[in-house]
Amino acid sequence: MLKGKSLIDPMDFSKEELEEIFALADKIIENPREYAHAADGKILATLFYEPSTRTRFSFEAAMLRLGGKVIGFSEPNSTSVSKGETIADTIRIVSCYADIVAMRHPKEGAPKIASMYSEIPVINAGDGGHQHPTQTLTDLLTISKIKGKLSNLTIGMCGDLKFGRTVHSLIKALSRYENNKIILISPDELKVPDYIKKGILDKNNIEYEEVKRIEDVIESLDVLYMTRVQKERFFNEEDYIRLKDSYILDKNKLSKAKDDMIILHPLPRVNEISYDIDSDKRACYFKQAKFGMYVRMALMAKLMGVL
């Protein structure tokens, strides 16, 4: 039963529950008009304490397409947060007004705290460098729609694997599917944190490899997941400037890739993927964004218990 649950960490739902969400997302994709009034009268509150365009719009569009309405902020300085209100109090109040909350916060764990004080489901829309479970739902749905499976894949994750929360969540989620091999491509300074390596990859006996160059591994990949160097999480600008252009996927590097490899990116892209790749049939990042909206429709409908 998904009704009434919160989604804070990608492991909060069982594989079966994920399947339930994906199955509904599939139906919505096939016939979106049938769901245009599924959430009539419901209200989503988007509490965004950190900048976002895509994720917030994706949640909002998802709720509007279900027939619901949206309240919220994307500029915490214009709210009582700037007067010193705690997350616990904010969420207690929002619980009185809305039916479901999507929260993004720069501090790891903030949405978890919110869910402990909330009367309504809380969805973590990204907490600091920690987790981003709805991006993971998006990524899993995209991979399964295009590759037809979530197991027996070689998946390369490239870029800022240290601060990239989408990568942390995706690794967690993929660790539950069989026989996947994960190739982590990053400079030394931006490697996946130990709590993911030891706590997820080693613990679940997932085959993985850490490399520095895309060129050395691209031919073996079924999925290449590119990420942006997370500027906002760096402590000093020099490090960011030194590392920001570590990877740029261009036609030359892509020439060695399999014909049916897919390129994903949670977006926004800075310059990790050269623009002339966009027209390559392997570039799936814009499709991925669209799947993200559908999967959020399915997720919210299930958590609110309207479908």
Query: In angstroms, rounded to a whole number, what is the distance separating the alpha carbons of residues 76 and 73?
Result: 7
- Is residue 302 annotated as involved in ligand binding? no
Scan for tokens 């036609």, then name that residue.
Answer: 251
Report the site for ligand NCD in 205-234 (rule: CB under 6 A).
227-228
54 binds ligand NCD (CB under 6 A): yes
Nearer to ligand NCD, 121 or 133 (CB): 133
Q: How far is the CB of 54 from ligand NCD (least distance, A)?
A: 5
Query: Please, which residues bridge with residue 72 across strands?
Result: 46
Scan for tokens 């027209």, then name that residue.
Answer: 279
- Is residue 56 annotated as involved in ligand binding? no
Which of 56, 65, 105, 132: binder of ligand NCD (CB under 6 A)? 132
Nearer to ligand NCD, 167 or 201 (CB): 167
Which of 135, 136, 142, 246: binder of ligand NCD (CB under 6 A)? 135
Measured from the Cβ of residue 52, the count of other Cβ atoms closer than 10 Å reads 18
Distance between alpha carbon 62 and the CA centroid of its chain, in Å?
15
Angle of the 133-147 helix axis to the 285-304 helix axis, nearest 10:
120
27 binds ligand NCD (CB under 6 A): no
Which of 261, 266, 291, 300: binder of ligand NCD (CB under 6 A)? 266
Query: In angstroms, rounded to a whole number, what is the distance separating the alpha carbons of residues 154 and 300?
Result: 31
Distance between alpha carbon 199 and the CA centroid of its chain, in Å?
20
Q: Is the peptide bond before 268 cis (omega within 30 degrees of 0)?
A: yes
Nearer to ligand NCD, 55 or 186 (CB): 55
Query: In angstroms, rounded to a whole number, what is the distance separating the alpha carbons of residues 177 and 214?
Result: 24
Nearer to ligand NCD, 13 or 59 (CB): 59
Per-residue contact track with ligand NCD, 156 to 195, x per CB under 6 A?
---------xx-----------------------------
- Is residue 268 annotated as involved in ligand binding? yes
Query: Judging by beta carbons within 10 Å of its beta carbon (0-12, 13-18, 19+), is residue 106 exposed, middle or buried?
Result: middle
Phi and psi (nearest 5°) for 55?
-65, -45
- Is residue 133 annotated as involved in ligand binding? no
- Is residue 265 annotated as involved in ligand binding? no
- Is residue 131 annotated as involved in ligand binding? no
- Is residue 213 annotated as involved in ligand binding? no
Instruction: List Cβ neighbours of 227 (8 Å cut-off, separation of 6 or more).
Output: 157, 158, 159, 160, 161, 164, 166, 167, 265, 266, 272
Chain residues binding ligand NCD by CB under 6 A are 54-55, 126, 132, 135, 165-166, 227-228, 266-267
| Residues of each annotated binding site | 54-55, 83, 104, 132, 135, 165, 228, 267-268
- Would you list which residues are annotated within the binding site for L-aspartate? 83, 165, 228
